[in-house]
């Protein structure tokens, strides 16, 4: 398991999947370090999917979301898919009402749904 500084973010690899667990609210500095680590892990470990567990994130502002979205696009350019799981309903409502660009964002309600979504993405 990889730990991104003391930021409350941990990463673990299972097969060709990178699981990113965010255990608290994010700040821009944490997101910058996370982005660098994610891109490196994706390349070095030949990752095909990055799964972000955001279930412990109670607040996500538009700037933080946009940084995550840009990271998702970078990961996609490297050939891997991304899925967000566990999004808080309040965060979802805020993002929609704030007009966040949600294109390219794949979501699942929980880990059980991840395989179905990855299979669907692979077949398109």
pLDDT digits (tens, 9 = 90+) for 67-78: 999 999 999 999
Question: What average pLDDT does the segment 78-84 reach?
Answer: 95
Contact 20, 53 (CB under 8 A): yes
Range from 26-30, 67-71, 104-108, 113-117 carrying the lowest mean pLDDT: 26-30
Order of strands across the sheet with 2-4? Answer: 2-4, 9-14, 17-22, 49-53, 81-85, 107-108
Most confident of 2-6, 40-44, 107-111: 40-44
CATH code where residue 54 lies:
3.30.750.24
Domains contained in the chain, number:
1
Q: Where in the sequence is the domain holding 94, given as residue range(s)?
A: 2-122
**What pLDDT is stored for residue 62 in this prediction?**
94
């Amino acid at each position: 398991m990889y730990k991104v500084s003391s930021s409350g973010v941990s990463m673990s690899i299972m097969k060709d999947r990178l699981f990113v667990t965010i255990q608290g609210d994010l700040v821009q500095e944490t997101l910058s370090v996370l982005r660098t680590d994610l891109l490196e892990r994706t390349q070095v470990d030949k990752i095909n999917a990055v799964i972000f567990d955001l279930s412990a994130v109670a607040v996500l502002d538009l700037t933080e979301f946009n940084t995550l979205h840009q990271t998702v696009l970078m990961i996609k350019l490297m050939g891997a898919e991304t899925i967000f799981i566990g999004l808080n309903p309040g965060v979802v409502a805020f993002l929609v009402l704030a007009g966040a660009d949600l294109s390219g964002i794949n979501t699942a309600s929980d880990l059980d749904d991840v395989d179905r979504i990855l299979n669907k993405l692979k077949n398109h």
